Structure 1
Amino acid sequence: MDHWIKILIAYREGKFARYFYGLTPRLIVGASQIPLGGEFENHEIAYNATEQIFEEMKHYNEKGLIVTSNLCDIHKGPVMQFIEAKWTKDSIGTDFGIVWKRYGNEIVSGNFGITPYDLQILNTIFK
């Protein structure tokens, strides 16, 4: 199973109880790196990896779950979560350009926003 799927399932199960509307794409991308939180070698690799995860999330439609986004006032950008719904081509509710414009610089610089709280949860997910 892809790392981002495990992360969003954990969120859905309430393991990230501090977050109310979803997880930031930068956290999802950073937590999906091996090693966890590993920085990208350059802008192009960061962009391609983020776009790949976004496209996988955009098309995800398994076991009645799809990925959708909410606009987070705290992060001033989209946050992602699984919901039970019928998938459509617009289900994710945002596009990659918006995600990259908001989070791209942070992703490239390795600022994934992974707190010690997040790291503790992520370490249990990826045991």
Structure 2
Amino acid sequence: MNWIKILKAYHQGKFDRYYYGLTPRMIIGASQHPIGTAFENEQVAYDTAYGIFEEMVEYNEDGLIVTSNYCGIHKGPVLSFTEGNLTADSIGTSFKSIWDRYGDEIISGEFGISDYDKKTLNEID
């Protein structure tokens, strides 16, 4: 599943248990086919996460850009769409910050995808 569809679903209120955004690890894991599939190795995990982050930094469609908030529960950045104009700092976080916080979990395939998340993800077109 494409990360854009996941963040659009969040923006539309379909992940109503989450208030500040979705964790990068969940977005990356949900983008795997099938959902939650672990990566072959650390380099593939890093390259995939970096590629998704770079797409997020540049995303600017339908008046939506990606931004981040700090989540005290996850002790790291969470991501969401917001209406606004794209600037160099719109996303409000760095890949280093995301990787430092979530990299080990992404590498080990611990995406934090709950049954609630799976149900919501399966309802996204």
**Corresponding residue number in structure 1 for 2:82:** 83
The 3-state SS of whatever aligns with 1:82 is strand
2: distance between equivalents of 1:63 and 1:10? Answer: 14
The Cα shift of 1:118 comes to 0.2
Deviation digits for residues 40-76 of structure 1, max 9, x if unmatched? 0000000000000000001100110000000000000
2: distance between equivalents of 1:125 and 1:18? Answer: 16
- 1:59-98 to structure 2, matched below 5 A, reads 59-98=58-97
**Corresponding residue number in structure 2 for 1:41:** 40
**Corresponding residue number in structure 2 for 1:104:** 103
The Cα shift of 1:77 comes to 0.3
2: distance between equivalents of 1:107 and 1:125? Answer: 22
1: distance between equivalents of 2:122 and 2:17? Answer: 17
Deviation digits for residues 73-115 of structure 1, max 9, x if unmatched? 0000000000000110110000000000000000000000000
The 3-state SS of whatever aligns with 1:78 is strand
| Percent of paired sites with the same residue | 62
Greater than 4 Å deviation, 4+ residue runs? none
Q: Which amino acid aligns with 1:27?
A: M
**Corresponding residue number in structure 2 for 1:5:** 4
Q: Which amino acid aligns with 1:13?
A: Q
TM-score (norm. length: structure 1) = 0.97
RMSD in angstroms over aligned alpha carbons? Answer: 0.8
Matched residues, number: 125
1: distance between equivalents of 2:16 and 2:34? Answer: 24
**Corresponding residue number in structure 1 for 2:120:** 121
Q: Which amino acid aligns with 1:38?
A: T
The Cα shift of 1:24 comes to 0.2
